[in-house]
Amino acid sequence: METFKNIGVIGRMGSVKVVETLRRLKTYLIENDYQVVLEADTASMLPGHGLQVASKKLIGEICDLAIVVGGDGSLLGAVRDLAKSSIPILGVNRGRLGFLTDISPDELETRLNAVLEGDYIQERRFMLDTEIKRNGEPTGFGTALNDVVLHPGRSTRMIGFDLYIEGQFVYSQRSDGLIVSTPTGSTAYALSGGGPIMHPKLDAIVLVPMFPHTLSSRPIVVDGNSEIKLIIDEANESWPQVSCDGQKELSCGPGDAISIAKRPFRLNLIHPSDHNFYATCREKLGWASTIAAS
């Protein structure tokens, strides 16, 4: 396996626990002769660090590995700037759930030592691009690792829209919106909406209706290469929004077309070698862990 020498470090702002872990991480990397590059905002949390500082985009160009300290949301925010470079990304969990940031601060040095010496597994996760057009002209663009969500915004009105998959009409729906999720996002918002859990290796997209007016509306799983299009009903009285990973909001209006498709660039996610998706589900989702005797 590839080993790493030049390491970019990105931390979540505004957390004392993140700063504490960043200090430990910096000390470990420097003592073990790694070249460390701090992301610009992260550097402001470590005054007097004496290290090279760069933007996320530049870290993607000059480093062998990016380490993100924070929660899953911190990693989601970082990948949009890093995905084009295909730099491997490793997460240290300082958030709540930690499906993506799976190294615990309690075992930081031990786990990190193994990964940096080449003892790790690598996953290629795909992302989604979304584009909004009004009268054929683009008005907004976003990228998501977890999900693209059509929702009412501040309005309490239902949204009327038509769904097309690969150019084929699927249905007209009135609901609170639609969650379009990757396998990575299937354990996030889509799960709370009643969607299925999908293994990260699947090349599939799930569409989860949000409180549909018709009770027969159920989640649909489609091929990962499908092009999905939503057309907002011309008679829609509200101006809904499209959210990318819950972090970027795009406005849309009656008659707008929302296109969603797989992004050409994949995220290169690094895990410790004993990472197990089902074990993570057991831990994070509270599944029973007793193995029955045969």
Binding residues are 72-73, 146-147, 157, 174, 176, 187-192, 247
Q: Which two structure tokens, joined as six digits, stand for 220?
A: 């649909």
Q: Give the Cα separation of 14 and 30 in Å (integer).
A: 24
Residue 207 CB-half CA count within 13 A? 24
Exposure class string for 210-223: b at 16+ Cβ within 10 A, else e: bebeeeebebebbe
Own/partner long-range contacts of 24-28 (Cβ < 8 Å, ≥24 apart): 24/105, 24/108, 24/109, 25/67, 25/69, 25/92, 25/108, 25/112, 26/51, 28/108, 28/109, 28/112
Known binding-site residues for NAD(+) equal 72-73, 146-147, 157, 174, 176, 187-192, 247
| 72, 81, 102, 256: the active-site residue | 72
**Catalytic residue status for 72:** yes
Active site members: 72
